[in-house]
Chain A
Amino acid sequence: MEPRQAPLKELWSHLRETPRRFKESAFRSGPPVTDRARSEFVFNNLFLHIHPVRVHRWSLRWRTTWGLGVAVTAAFLLTLITGVLLMLYYKPYPDVAYQSIKDIHYVVPTGRFIRNIHRWAANLMVVTVFLHMARVFYTGAYRYPREFNWLVGLGLLVLTLGLSFTGYLLPWDQLAYWAITIGANIAQSPRELTDALGITPYFDPGGWMKTLLLGGPEVGDESLIRFYVLHVAVLPLALVVLMGVHFWRIRKDGGLARPEDADALLGPPRDLYPVFTDAPTKTYHLAAIVRGRSPAVNRGPENTIPSMPHLFYAECAVFMLTVFLTVLAAIFWNAPLKEIANPAVPENPAKAPWYFLGVQELVSHSAFMGGAGIPLIVIVGLGLIPFLDRETEGTGRWFGGPGGQRLVLVSAVFGLLSVIAIEAFAIQFGWLRQWFPDIPQLIITFVNPGTLLVVVYAIFSLGIVHRYRSARAGAVALFTCFLCGFVVLTIIGVHFRGPNWGFYWSPADWPKH
């Protein structure tokens, strides 16, 4: 036993060692220079251990994912940070909400910049969520064993759109007021059905939902508080929880989807450190491969590389790019703010933000089917895809499966032509109400350009299933049609609709007031 130092001297030397001891106690492992230390770097860290210790080289190729999932997460983090900052000044009462946004815009230092970042990060999140979903779909990554994670992803899509919707209501400008009115009436739109059946006085789910959402029969103080609570507490919490499940399932489902022959395709690794530079006490690396569908017999983990640094550096790169693009947009474009809400006069045209204009176009055909029915059919249809497609061909490859790229092209052409044809017909010749003024509403609810489009897409996809004898081919057809329909309806809503939701070739043709 060493002789004890004098108490004060000992205290002094402990104090001097404190920074080093603090670092050791916080990080617990040494610098990540050996594979073992790199493993410990990941699983000794609460924030990193959601990552695998080793990651397959296929997952790290840019064209496997284009980093879209990380971009969504980065955009969400940006909205989270800027959102908390905006909460310091925003006041959720109709009398002062608009003024507080004006204050943020014109008085608060950097307020406008922060609000711009919040707005553009939210927009970027919507875009990247859709692109991420398309990536997962076209690489067949939703298949066994990842069906459940596809459903979690759908939930995240809905929450993202919900956050966007509740978010643009808060400034209490014209856009907010009329969007809240329209949104609440879409919630009430099951009445279109119950009215037609004559059961509204006894069974009124529409009215019940609207009142719950608005906190009263009309848009008022209560409504703004409710949407505020949804926007800053309920929906973000739900989103964070589902995101946790989403990430965790990626690990538990065996990492990112890759083709069975990914190892052969990639060839032997080059420019890599040896697998072990330090004798491991535990074979932690096995945890990264035992969950795969085939045991790693007769082949080592040579196509996996340590997450530290390869995966983390890639994630940081995507994160920085997202921040860069958002900040760039925030410098050059201001987040819109319209006139203060006027309950007597809606804007003409009253347009939602771009990502809801496709739905607004559908709603202009039927409130119930456009606002509730068709979105529900799309969500259920997307959710069913991984349970109907149980094939394995082409998993992990872009446009993998029967038909391949050609089928995507054919479906895109069909999807574009049918949505344009149906819309052009409705714009040129009107619809049932103009021809038969006394037609029952129930018929228009179920037979309108929107539902017709859904039926055309469904028949086309069933035909493709029959022709290719493959559910995957049908899914590719349906998803491609859905994307085309979404894009075309959105473009029509953004560019070709003018006052009174009339058709105009260009906003320059709008009549002057």
Chain B
Amino acid sequence: MKDDHTTVPSRLAPEPVPRRDFLGLSALGAFVSALFLAFLGIIRLPRVVVSASPSRKFRVKLPESLQPGEPFVPPGRNVVLFRDSEGVYAISLVCTHLGCIVKPSPNGFECPCHGSRFAPDGHVIGGPAPKPLPWLAVSLEGNEVWVDGNVIVQPGTKARG
């Protein structure tokens, strides 16, 4: 018991953190952290660990008649291949805006979904796309071309046979 009545806790002038409140707050904290940990545990299930998507590395044979600057899109692939005097190169056809497949046109590439336009070397010349179309790694093996969709290379990188 203290004599000094100014330090006696009351409803109007409570202790800074009364003992009971401290215990209460700890209990609340334990409850909230338990909920949070439970949430983390729940999120573990929908989180993707193994993703079964088709390989992005493939081999293709360019047609003999392919002219310089003429686009060649291997069936089922979102990649376009070109061949000119400096070599063979591959550009991704997946729009950097929202993932639609752009269409090669005489002036470069056009996106049907939101109107992005790209120059023949892939850089953005109009529309909402934030980044140029990436160039992909290619290597020549005999008369076949290996394209690796996982490896992005500097624009202008061409493979010579």
Chain A interface residues toward B at CB < 8 A: 178, 181-182, 184-186, 189, 192, 195-196, 211-212, 215-218, 220-222, 226, 343-350, 360, 363-367, 370-371, 430, 433-434, 437, 441, 444-445, 448, 499-502
Contacts and interface: CB of A to CB of B under 8 A. Distances in A.
A211 B112 contact: no
B114 A360 contact: yes
Nearest to B115: A501
B125 A182 contact: no
B113 interface: yes
Interface string B91-132: 000000111110100000011111101000001111110110
A221 B53 CA distance: 10
Contact of B101 (A220, A345, A365, A371): A345
Contacts of B128: 363-367, 370, 444, 448
Contacts of B112: 346-350, 499-501
B156 interface: no
Contacts of B77: 344
A211 B115 CA distance: 25
Given A364-B127, A367-B97, A367-B130, A216 B48 contact: yes
Interface of B: 46-48, 51-53, 75-78, 97-101, 103, 110-115, 117, 123-128, 130-131
Label chain B's interface by main secondary structure: loop
Contacts of A189: 98
Given A363-B128, A441-B131, A502 B48 contact: no
17 contacts: A181-B100, A182-B98, A185-B98, A211-B48, A211-B51, A216-B53, A344-B77, A344-B101, A346-B113, A348-B103, A348-B112, A363-B114, A365-B128, A367-B128, A434-B126, A499-B112, A502-B115
B53 A220 contact: yes
Contacts of B75: 344
B52 A216 contact: yes
A346 B98 contact: no
A238 to B, nearest CB: 16
Contacts, number: 107
The 10 closest A-B pairs by CB, nearest first: A501-B115, A348-B112, A216-B51, A364-B114, A185-B98, A185-B99, A441-B130, A350-B113, A182-B98, A181-B99
A488 B46 CA distance: 39
A445 B130 CA distance: 8
B130 A195 contact: yes
A220 B113 contact: no
> Among A226, A345, A433, which residue has the most Cβ atoms of chain B within 10 A?
A433
A499 B124 CA distance: 18
Given A195-B130, A437-B125, A346 B48 contact: no
Nearest to A361: B114
Contacts of A349: 112-113
A347 B114 CA distance: 12
Contacts of A371: 98
Contact of B126 (A212, A217, A348, A430): A430
> Among A185, A195, A347, which residue has the most Cβ atoms of chain B within 10 A?
A185
A221 B75 CA distance: 21
A216 B46 CA distance: 10
A500 B97 CA distance: 13
A366 to B, nearest CB: 6
B46 A215 contact: yes
A178 B100 contact: yes
A447 B37 CA distance: 40
B130 A182 contact: no
Given A220-B53, A363-B98, A182 B113 contact: yes
Contacts of A186: 98
A220 B52 contact: yes
Contacts of A448: 128
A434 B126 CA distance: 6
A107 B115 CA distance: 39
Given A221-B52, A444-B128, A501-B114, 20 more contacts: A181-B99, A182-B99, A184-B99, A192-B130, A215-B51, A216-B53, A217-B51, A220-B52, A222-B48, A344-B75, A344-B76, A346-B113, A347-B112, A364-B115, A364-B127, A366-B128, A433-B124, A441-B131, A501-B111, A501-B127
Nearest to B75: A344
Nearest to A211: B48
A215 B51 CA distance: 7
Nearest to B53: A218
A370 B46 CA distance: 27
Given A212-B48, A346-B100, A350-B100, A433 B127 contact: yes
A221 B115 CA distance: 29
A346 B125 contact: no
Contact of B47 (A212, A370, A499, A500): A212
B111 A500 contact: yes
B113 A501 contact: yes
